[in-house]
Amino acid sequence: MNPFTFHRPTTLADAINQMKGGNGEVKLLGGGQSLLPVMKLDLAMPSALISLSGIPGLDEIRAEGGRVTIGGCATHAAVAASSAVRGAIPALAQLAGAIGDTQVRNRGTIGGSLAHADPSADYPAAALALGATIVTDRRRIAIDDYFTGLFSTALEADEILTAVEFPIPDRAGYAKFAHRASKYAVVGVFVAKSAGGVRVAVTGAGPVVFRATAIEEALAANFSADAVPAGTVASDDLQSDTEASAEYRAHLVTVMARRAVQAAT
């Protein structure tokens, strides 16, 4: 690990100033569950880290006006335990409670996860399926415009994700096939049904979270597990690794979609 300077500002304004004033690569630090491991391997060598953990209010969670708003610094454990989330979108609390392990959930944050955009992370599936809005220090980004590719998003280099707004659906469910070692999603499918229709988002399977439109159409007509058609996601565009081939992942998309519908509340 290379030497770096560490900042822990107490206001968003200070954080923004430190981002702008930094030399070399300045990285924002949430819970450090993705950034620190790659720094240890020298795969990331930032000159400065700006921790967001000292800024009051960034970890706030509330449900009002038909949506759940979760501050970027809310930990997975906090989301899983939040009565607001559990009451409004139980599937989201359940998802948060199954990320990684206890240590990861106690440190990792929703903002860090969505800014990092790991293709195997859980939150991107929920955000995309629920039609979330990403709130930053300077704008609001519709989730459909947010994920741009492998580990990449619409965020500017110096932009700070401050909150995520999730519209409360009629029903939602999440089913994950976890990597046996890492517990990341080999395939995770989030299904959400609301007045606007059915959205189905798949994480883990491809280089970036994506919507399974054929499954959405089938579920819009009949929101039941039996209605999920098999083989609608081609393996050509999916990831292949030692844990799961693209072909197996394609199969798991169908199975997990059915189980997500079964689990939907």
Partner 1 sequence: MSSHGMGVAVARKEDRRFLTGKGRYTDDIVLPGQTYAVFVRSPYAHARLRAIDTTAAAASPGVLAVLTGKDVADDGLGGIPTGWQIHNKDGSPMAEPPHPALAQGKVRHVGDPVVMVVADSKVHAREAAALVEIDYEPLPAVAHLPVAAAPGAPQVWDEAPGNVCFDWHVGDKAATDAAFAQAARVVSIDLANNRIAPNAIEPRAANGHFDATGDQFTLYTTSQNPHLTRLLLGAFSLKVPEHRLRVVAPDVGGGFGSKIFHYAEELLVLWASRRVGHPVKWTSDRSEAFLSDAHGRDHVSHAELALDAEDKFLALRVNTLANLGAYLSTFAPAVPTYLHAILLSGPYVIPAIYVEVKGMFTHTVAVDAVRGAGRPEATYLLERLVDKAAREGGTDPIGIRRKNFIQPHQFPYQTPVALCYDTGDYEPTLDMALAAIDYPNLAARKAEAKSRGKLRGFGISTYIEACGIAPSAVVGSLGARAGLYEAATVRVHPTGSVTVFTGTHSHGQGHETTFAQLINDRLGVAIDNVDIVHGDTDRIPFGMGTYGSRSAAVGGSAIVKALDKIIDKGKKIAAHLLEADVSDIEFSDGKFRVVGTDREKGFGDIAFAAYVPHNYPIETVEPGLEEGAFYDPKNFTFPAGTHCVEVEIDPETGVVQVVDVAIADDVGVIINPMIVDGQAHGGLAQGIGQALLEECLYDENGQLLAGNYMNYCMPRAEDFPRFKVGNHVTACTHNPLGIKGVGEVGAIGVPPAVINAVLDALAPLGVTHIDMPATPEKVWRAIQAAQGGAA
Residues forming contacts to partner 1 in the complex (CB under 8 A) are 41, 177, 179-182, 242-245, 247-248, 251-252, 255
Min dist. Cβ of residue 83 to partner 1 (A) = 26
Please state, as a whole number, how many other Cβ atoms lie within 10 Å of the Cβ of residue 167. 18
Least spacing, CB of residue 182 vs partner 1, in Å: 4
* Residues 6+ positions from 110 with CB-CB distance below 8 Å: 70, 71, 72, 74, 75, 76, 79, 96, 123, 164
Judged by beta carbon, residue 20 or residue 180, the one nearer partner 1 is 180
DSSP alpha helix (H) spans, the chain: 12-21, 35-40, 76-81, 83-88, 90-97, 102-107, 110-116, 123-130, 213-221, 246-263
Comparing CB distances to partner 1, the nearer of 58 and 250 is 250
Q: How far is the CB of 242 from partner 1 (least distance, A)?
A: 5
Smallest distance from partner 1 to CB 68, Å: 29
Q: Report the residue number, 144 or 247, with the smaller CB distance to partner 1.
A: 247
Residue with Cβ nearer partner 1 (27 or 176):
176
Which tokens is 2 given?
């290379």
- Residue written as token pair 């741009």: 148
Query: Which amino acid appears at position 209 of this protein?
Result: V
